[in-house]
């Protein structure tokens, strides 16, 4: 799938739950216990000497009428590199079945916060011990961010969500190139009011997420501090007992606070911002309906042509030590046989809250022009009454993101800052269009009314003991297994009948292109073979052993475009003696012709082949992991990569791949049991919860419906393209 395209999702069309908002909030102190090197300035030559304000990670979680969740995580750090953001988002997705598009990670861009591993690392004089300290703290940060999200999610309770806007005037455009260079003094505020009855005399519990487009650079000395943004949060929480204040940086790439360079001014600007937010909280705010949408996407940003080795050798001799250091790194890449990247995979995100409140989060040090364009243009393409909270420094921080005007003018934001971020030169022309096109596509996607995950499920049958193996036949009927009852059932037009009994303890089912039903027949009194029901009703055994040894318990199967059958052979239950030492994946090329495909899995289960036939997806239920294996033209399994790790949770049982490429996998247990929709790259795109333990799924012929087997029942979900 091309990364500059939006993911294709299928989402449910159900009736609303009308449960209202739920929200949770958390705050984690992640101040280092030891003096630390502070980020943002190349001129510092010593670590911090004291802590002027604590370094915090905070999170607010929202759940709408439809049970869909959003999680925003903020922190008092200089950047939010993808090397930190993506593992944290993956942990949250795995632990709480929240799609990546619904997880937002932001940095305040404080230049007085501890360094973490990011693209600016080469700017600081870090030796071995100092670098190891940074590496250790970066790992701690990831754990703190996840813990903040976990606490917020697990504390969800009834709430209201409101929006409003204030104004603070201490930001200026620092470039001073043109009369009337743009600024953005708006202070957008999202407020959460917890509605559960409070104890008499206790303060009202609230959370406020607010933003401002201004560099967090009042300070430049040795004090560890959240700068003005940290002081603004402190003041708000003192002024409003029971409030948790969360700051997210706006599009501040070319915006500075004025004046600056003292602790007194940092506190003054923080107070000014806190007062602006307080005025919003004290005035009537617009309540938002409990309905959300989200989208996350990528686009490719091109760089100017890379220099050759001769040019880099000249730069290596530069008197500018940063130019010289960059040249050395790039030369090392060339000399090791690598190439200098000429593009970057840029990310952005959009949320919709209620009918018309949008949050648009852009990666990097984005200049203010983007925010002003979004605030002008989003209302025109949506409801007309839309409000936009434009954020930057979100989910990644590759470099400054100039618009075309600044790119032409050059200067720090358009050119020389790229030295510190390690790029060989500035962005190529066209960057503004690419970023804005991506943002608009995401807004349009987030604007769609998605509907809830599991509330739109129709239970079409509920008389089984343990259902599995759904597949749609050429007659349009749904066929599925009821394993303990030793039968295959057929469902069409609301009527369910027994298709075959006994079935040989059939589990996985699949029709081939000739309309013949393939069956994985298991152990525990079953046939322990892969069979095919011919068009005349006779049975053909395709494989029951390899190298003369009987299979353990054929479980699930899939077919590639050449008609080759792949099946998994674990052993879950059954008293029959095992003849094979391993639980493996095999391929049937023709009746009796079986080859081993993969054996180094703990307990293989669900299988699926990608639409292009180049990837075999293998579920290792024993390790709760989903793998993607490269398939050769001959059907051999090559390089295998981890696609999704379910950790302590239940891994994939059965799965189906949509023609668009996304994987619909039955996994999880309890409230996390359902269909996990994953991109081919392993990103959680959507989650469809089920009332029972989900075991497998399949699409009907035109992918208008998703059928889900789940313990005793079979469910149907109507789908639409998004």
Most distant pair of Cα atoms in the chain: their distance: 88
Q: How confident is the model at residue 687 (pLDDT cuts 50, 70, 90)?
A: very high
Q: Look at the chain and count its residues.
A: 722
DSSP structural state of residue 377: H
Residue with tokens 């069409």: 492
Segment 273-302 shows an average pLDDT of 97
Phi then psi dihedrals of residue 317, to 5 deg: -90, 5
Q: How confident is the model at residue 400 (pLDDT cuts 50, 70, 90)?
A: very high
Q: How confident is the model at residue 3 (pLDDT cuts 50, 70, 90)?
A: very low
Say if residue 15's pLDDT is above 60: no
Name the CATH code of domain 457-648 (choices 2.40.30.30, 3.30.56.10, 2.120.10.30, 2.40.50.140): 2.120.10.30
According to DSSP, the β-strands at 223-224 and 50-51 are parallel
pLDDT in tens, 117-156: 999 999 999 989 999 999 999 999 999 999 999 999 999 9
Residue 718 CB neighbours (<10 A) = 16
Q: What is the pTM of this model?
A: 0.90
pLDDT in tens, 405-454: 999 999 999 999 999 999 999 999 999 999 999 999 999 999 987 544 43
Cα separation of 378 and 385, whole Å? 9
Phi then psi dihedrals of residue 159, to 5 deg: -160, 170
Q: How confident is the model at residue 490 (pLDDT cuts 50, 70, 90)?
A: very high
Q: How confident is the model at residue 202 (pLDDT cuts 50, 70, 90)?
A: confident
Residue 51, pLDDT score: 97
Q: How confident is the model at residue 12 (pLDDT cuts 50, 70, 90)?
A: very low
Cα separation of 71 and 192, whole Å? 13
Say if residue 455's pLDDT is above 50: no
Q: How confident is the model at residue 197 (pLDDT cuts 50, 70, 90)?
A: confident
Phi-psi bin for 384: left (phi > 0), alpha (psi -120 to 50), beta? Answer: left
634: Cβ contacts below 8 Å, ≥ 6 apart = none
In the chain, domain spans: 21-306+341-446, 457-648
Q: How confident is the model at residue 200 (pLDDT cuts 50, 70, 90)?
A: confident
Cα separation of 589 and 563, whole Å? 8
Q: How confident is the model at residue 721 (pLDDT cuts 50, 70, 90)?
A: low
Instruction: Please check whether residue 76 is in contact with residue 56, taking contact to mean a CB–CB distance below 8 angstroms.
Output: yes
Residue 613, pLDDT score: 96
Instruction: Please check whether residue 479 is in contact with residue 470, taking contact to mean a CB–CB distance below 8 angstroms.
Output: yes
Quote the Cα angle for 331-333-336, to 5°: 105
């Amino acid at each position: 799938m091309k990364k500059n395209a939006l993911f294709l999702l299928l989402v449910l069309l159900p009736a609303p739950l009308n449960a209202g908002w739920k929200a949770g909030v958390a705050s984690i102190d992640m101040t280092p216990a030891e003096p630390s090197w502070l980020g943002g300035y190349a001129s510092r030559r010593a670590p911090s000497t004291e802590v002027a304000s604590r370094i915090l990670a905070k999170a607010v979680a929202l759940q709408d009428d439809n049970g869909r969740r959003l999680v925003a995580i903020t922190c008092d750090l200089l950047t939010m590199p993808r090397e930190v953001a993506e593992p944290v988002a993956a942990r949250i997705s795995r632990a709480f079945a929240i799609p990546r598009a619904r997880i937002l990670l932001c940095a305040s861009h404080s230049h007085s916060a501890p360094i973490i591993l990011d693209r600016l690392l080469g700017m600081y004089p870090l030796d071995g011990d100092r670098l190891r300290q940074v590496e250790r703290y970066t790992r701690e940060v990831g754990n703190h961010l996840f813990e903040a999200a976990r606490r917020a999610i697990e504390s969800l309770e009834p709430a209201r969500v409101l929006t409003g806007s204030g104004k603070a005037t201490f930001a200026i455009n620092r470039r001073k190139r043109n009369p009337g260079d743009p600024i953005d003094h708006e202070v957008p505020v999202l407020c959460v009011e917890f509605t559960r009855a409070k104890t008499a005399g206790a303060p009202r519990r609230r959370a406020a997420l607010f933003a401002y487009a201004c560099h967090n650079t009042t300070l430049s000395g040795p004090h560890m501090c959240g700068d003005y943004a940290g002081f603004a949060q402190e003041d708000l929480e003192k002024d409003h007992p029971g409030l948790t204040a969360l700051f997210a940086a706006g599009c501040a790439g070319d915006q500075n606070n004025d004046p600056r360079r003292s602790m007194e001014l940092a506190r003054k600007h923080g107070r000014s911002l806190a007062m602006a937010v307080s005025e919003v909280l004290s005035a009537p705010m617009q309540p938002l309906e409990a309905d959300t949408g989200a989208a996350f996407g990528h686009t490719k940003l091109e760089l100017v042509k890379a220099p050759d080795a001769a040019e880099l050798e000249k730069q290596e001799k530069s008197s500018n030590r940063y130019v010289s250091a960059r040249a050395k790194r790039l030369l090392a890449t060339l000399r090791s046989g690598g190439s200098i990247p000429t593009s970057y995979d840029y990310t952005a995100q959009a949320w919709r809250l209620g009918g018309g409140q949008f949050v648009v989060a852009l990666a990097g040090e984005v200049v203010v022009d983007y925010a002003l364009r979004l605030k002008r243009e989003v209302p025109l393409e949506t409801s007309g009454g839309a409000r936009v909270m434009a954020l930057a420094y979100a989910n990644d921080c590759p470099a400054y993101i100039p618009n075309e005007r600044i790119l032409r003018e050059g200067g720090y934001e358009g050119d020389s800052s790229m030295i510190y971020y390690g790029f060989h030169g500035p962005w190529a022309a066209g960057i503004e269009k690419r970023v804005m096109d991506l943002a608009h596509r995401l807004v349009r996607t987030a604007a769609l009314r998605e509907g809830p995950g599991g509330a739109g499920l129709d239970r079409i049958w509920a008389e089984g003991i343990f259902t599995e193996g759904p597949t749609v036949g050429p007659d349009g009927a749904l066929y599925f297994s009821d394993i303990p009852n030793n039968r295959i059932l057929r469902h069409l037009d609301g009527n369910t009948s027994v298709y075959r009994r006994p079935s040989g303890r059939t589990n996985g089912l699949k029709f081939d292109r000739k309309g013949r039903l393939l069956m994985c027949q298991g152990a525990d009194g079953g046939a322990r073979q892969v069979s095919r029901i011919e068009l005349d009703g006779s049975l053909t055994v395709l494989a029951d052993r390899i190298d003369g040894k009987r299979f353990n318990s054929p479980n699930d199967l899939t077919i590639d475009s050449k008609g080759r059958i792949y099946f998994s052979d674990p052993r879950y239950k059954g008293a029959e003696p095992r003849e094979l030492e391993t639980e493996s994946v095999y391929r049937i090329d023709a009746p009796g012709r079986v080859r081993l495909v993969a054996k180094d899995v703990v307990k293989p289960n669900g299988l699926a082949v990608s639409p292009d036939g180049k990837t075999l997806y293998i579920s290792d239920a024993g390790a709760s992991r989903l793998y993607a294996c490269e398939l050769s033209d001959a059907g051999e399994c090559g390089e295998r990569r981890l696609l999704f790790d379910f950790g302590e949770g239940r891994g994939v049982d059965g799965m189906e791949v949509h023609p668009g490429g996304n994987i619909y996998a039955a996994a999880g247990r309890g409230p996390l049991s359902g269909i996990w929709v994953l991109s081919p790259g392993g990103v959680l795109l959507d989650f469809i919860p089920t009332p029972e333990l989900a075991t497998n799924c399949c699409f009907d012929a035109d992918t208008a419906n998703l059928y889900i087997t789940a313990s005793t029942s079979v469910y149907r979900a109507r789908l639409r393209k998004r």
